[in-house]
Structure 1
Amino acid sequence: MAGAIIVDGYLLFFKKQTTNTKVSTSASANSTMKDGTYTGAATSTAWGDVQVKMTVANGKITSITVLKHPTEGKSVQINAEALPIYKKEAIAAQSAKIQQVSGATETYKGFTGSLQSAITQAEEAS
């Protein structure tokens, strides 16, 4: 029981540190993006290309639309589960630096690659 309490305490402390890091990252990321809509480069994965479009308003990412993603075989189920999570986390983090969903490595690579391309365009436009 004492071991469980120690582990819970450690995880609580670690989670707080992660959250604080995200807050500071988002503050620096959103201050340099110009308002507009940006389409990221299509990013190749082992199962097909992933491409996103993001909208920036008041210097913040307000929406992300997935324009292209693999649509065959097991990719359908994986993308249906992972892409909404990736979109939500990226908007919350105001960054392409997000957590990977277990089992969705290729989708993660494609999503974050295309999103970073869009973010870079928004930063260079400002």
Structure 2
Amino acid sequence: MMKKIIGVAVAITVAVASVIDGYIVFFKGNQRHSQTNSNSNQSSVSTESSSNTSSNQTTSGKYKDGTFTSKTVTTPHGTMQVSVVISNGKITNIKILKYPDEESKSERINSQSLPTYQSEAIKAQSANIQQISGATETYTGFTNSLQDALNKAV
């Protein structure tokens, strides 16, 4: 009789622990807005043709002044392309020319994450920015596209 009671108690404990773990993983896990290392989870992307408009003026900053357009970067959810404006050798503006917006989930994620990625890249003066949890593909497309444009400005 005692073995049955212990067995039932262990089974109930395991069931409760499983339910709590499932709740944390599936419901609370999606609400976290933590950022991960910018070097983690880089996926490969392919590039297509692009255009480049710039001036030949060189300044004392890190980059040449002008507007530089990246190649189109393909992600699993669509294409990404940016244009970066350099003034006095510094990144002053980043324009999103193309981004994945055919799926409602992609549009929602991009509308929330791209403005953050733009402002962080301007602050960092590079494509080396922090990734937002839940926006990995957007991060990969944005940073690879931005880096391509910045490579043209060197």
Q: Same fold (TM over 0.5)?
A: yes
Are 2:120 and 1:82 equivalent residues in the alignment? no
Are 2:147 and 1:116 equivalent residues in the alignment? yes
Are 2:66 and 1:36 equivalent residues in the alignment? yes
CA distance in 2, matches of 1:67, 1:49: 10
Give the number of equivalent residue pairs.
94
CA distance in 2, matches of 1:86, 1:32: 20
Between the aligned residues of both structures, percent identity stands at 54
Taking only aligned residues, the RMSD between alpha carbons, in angstroms, comes to: 1.1
> Following superposition of structure 1 onto structure 2, how do residues 1-126 of structure 1 map, counting pairs within 5 Å?
31-71=61-101, 72-123=103-154
The one-letter code sitting in structure 2 at the alignment partner of 1:80 is S
Moved more, 40-49 or 90-99: 40-49
CA distance in 1, matches of 2:76, 2:153: 27
CA shift, 1:73, in A, is 2.4
CA shift, 1:93, in A, is 0.1
SS in 2 for 1:42: strand
CA shift, 1:41, in A, is 1.0
CA distance in 1, matches of 2:70, 2:140: 13
Q: Which has the larger radius of gyration?
A: 2
After TM superposition, what 4+ stretches of structure 1 lie above 4 angstroms from structure 2? none
1:19-69 deviation per Cα after TM superposition (whole angstroms, max 9, x unaligned): xxxxxxxxxxx8331000000111111101111001000000000000000
Higher relative contact order (CA 8 A, sep 6+): 1
CA distance in 2, matches of 1:106, 1:83: 11
1:5-30 deviation per Cα after TM superposition (whole angstroms, max 9, x unaligned): xxxxxxxxxxxxxxxxxxxxxxxxx8
TM-score of the superposed pair, with normalisation by structure 2: 0.59
Moved more, 31-40 or 91-100: 31-40
TM-score of the superposed pair, with normalisation by structure 1: 0.72
The one-letter code sitting in structure 2 at the alignment partner of 1:33 is Y
Please identify which structure carries the higher helix content.
1
Q: Which runs of 5+ in 2 are unaligned?
A: 1-59
